[in-house]
Amino acid sequence: MRITCIIILLFYILNAQAAQPVDTLLAELDHYIYLNDSYTEEKEQKIADIKKNLDQPFSTQDNLFETYIQLFDEYKSYKYDSAYSYANRSLEIALQVKNPVYKIKSNEALVFCFLSSGLFKEAFDMMSSTDVSTASTAIKREHYNLWARLYYDIADYNNEDPFRSEYIAKGNLYSDSVLHIQSMQDIDWWYAYGLQQLKKENYQRAIEAFTTLINIKDIDDHLYAITASTMGHAYSAVGNREQSKICLIQAAIGDIKSVTKETTALRNLAVLLYEDGDIQRANKYIKLALDDANFYNARHRKLEIGSILPIIEQERFEAVEKQRNVLILSVISISLLFVLLLVATVIIYKQIKRVRKARKTIGEQNEQLILTNNQLTEVSNIKDEYIGYSFYMNSGYIDKLEGLYKLVNRKIAARQYEDLRSSFKESDLQKERKNMYSSFDETFLKLFPSFIQAYNNLFQPDDRVIPENSKSLTAEMRIFALIRLGIYESERIAQFLNYSVNTINTYKTKVKNKSIVPNEQFEQKIMEIRSGKQ
């Protein structure tokens, strides 16, 4: 009861200030994205300085072990392959010197790598074989934390009851062990407590604990990012999307400052922005998240992002297509206004000639002319504002529409009406679609760089096709690329590729008939193509 009261009091004190607007934080995040390379350079220099210890001629086995562990710590959230390599090297030293503490630390380093790549069985086996009964409190704390994370991650992966509840319950038991051997004065206590409350679905208590933690002065950028990201999940669970976005933005900034590539904050932020209709920014962030996942090189992070990316890309293309339609409608409206203006001018000229001898009639016609011109000016101003709004709906069309608007004004001033009419041509939508396919192909081949080779291996040499551009796919390859991403329905593939369902089925049948494997096994072979460099 005393702990709960303290947490609630701290929560309300720390949340007295208003949250920063999301737009301001997004601008700050973009600034840190711009600085990302400089943070990476500092990280690489720090790693290089540590590696100098490996070149010392009289290094002891103990010194080597400590250096390997330091390098693992630097790489574990930065580059998976290197982290795994140094974890293995530390285990080799631990076995050579037969030091039980070294072995525990090495095992825990390998377990971290297994969890980061989704190898739960391997992690479970190694944890089960590690005895910490006589170890120090610090080692036990880390060991129990890893057990808790293992069960929590398995629960997230097997998100079905009763298994999920069982795994969470086991994770909570290990969290209890962590809390038992620590005090509230320890930074790690607050995260362990907040995570446990989150898994128990006590979201408000979790938020209070995480809020307390991120406001501690001594917290480092990496722990800040992890805490903010987890708190974003808690806010999302209670329906507070704005606060969830704020937390994920703060987490993404913390990831950049700590040079963390094994992260979910930017990906989850992209999903929220996509759901809110901010397709342009969502597309930017999901591609940056993919770059981080490829750099870190953990397979299940790539798969998570690969399932989201085509959806956002399709939505972005549809937004461009909508803007094209708005542009065409605006151009047609302007053309009609110009025609009406021309007709009105002719009519006014004839009326002036007809009633020239009558001052009263001329006055009335002049008043009518002024009124008509005022109305046309008002309508033109409204249309100008509408067109100006449409400019900002998609940055890709700003230059085109600005050039078109200048051309129209110039032709009207020169009364080149026929030339003006011939100037209006429908935008080449196929070019936009081609650009979308090019972006899809390039992104897909980042995920599956060996796809083209593996695809061709399913055919006789004479039937193999090599695209002219190494970063592009043929139409047939693109169909099976979508299938590789888990999009099996011909209707969805047809919608994305702008083909009919019958055409898609014809392509699939034609390709399968040429293959050296049975037709019914072809798609299974496609699904077996692995991501990453082979």
pLDDT digits (tens, 9 = 90+) for 171-198: 999 999 999 998 888 888 999 999 999 9
Residue 179's alpha-carbon distances to 141, 226, 233, 301, in angstroms, are 9, 18, 22, 30
What is the dihedral angle through the alpha carbons of 392, 395, 401, 403, rounded to the nearest 10 degrees? 120
- Residue ranges in 392-518 assigned as alpha helix (H): 398-413, 417-423, 429-447, 451-456, 475-484, 490-497, 501-514
Helix/strand/coil (H/E/C) assignment for every residue in 143-191: HHHHHHHHHHHHHHHCCCCCHHHHHHHHHHHHHHHHHHCCCCCCHHHHH
Query: What pLDDT score was predicted for residue 395?
Result: 45
The structure tokens 């935008």 sit at 427
Query: What pLDDT score was predicted for residue 368?
Result: 73
For residue 170, the number of C-alpha atoms closer than 13 Å in the C-beta half-sphere is 15
Query: What pLDDT score was predicted for residue 274?
Result: 86
Residues 390 and 394: their CA atoms lie apart, in Å, by 7
Query: What pLDDT score was predicted for residue 427?
Result: 45
Reading the block at residue 470, the tokens are: 């190494």
Residues 176 and 181: their CA atoms lie apart, in Å, by 9
Residues 329 and 323: their CA atoms lie apart, in Å, by 10
Query: What pLDDT score was predicted for residue 389?
Result: 30
Residues 474 and 469: their CA atoms lie apart, in Å, by 10
Reading the block at residue 444, the tokens are: 């897909």
Query: What pLDDT score was predicted for residue 258?
Result: 93
Stretches where the chain sits below pLDDT 70 are 1-20, 58, 298-328, 330, 355, 358, 361-362, 369-404, 417, 419-429, 532-534
Query: What pLDDT score was predicted for residue 218?
Result: 81
Residues 150 and 118: their CA atoms lie apart, in Å, by 10
Q: What pTM was computed for the model? A: 0.57
How far does the chain reach from its first CA to its final CA, in angstroms?
56
Query: What pLDDT score was predicted for residue 531?
Result: 79
Query: What pLDDT score was predicted for residue 370?
Result: 63
Where exactly are the structural domains of the chain?
A: 316-427, 430-527
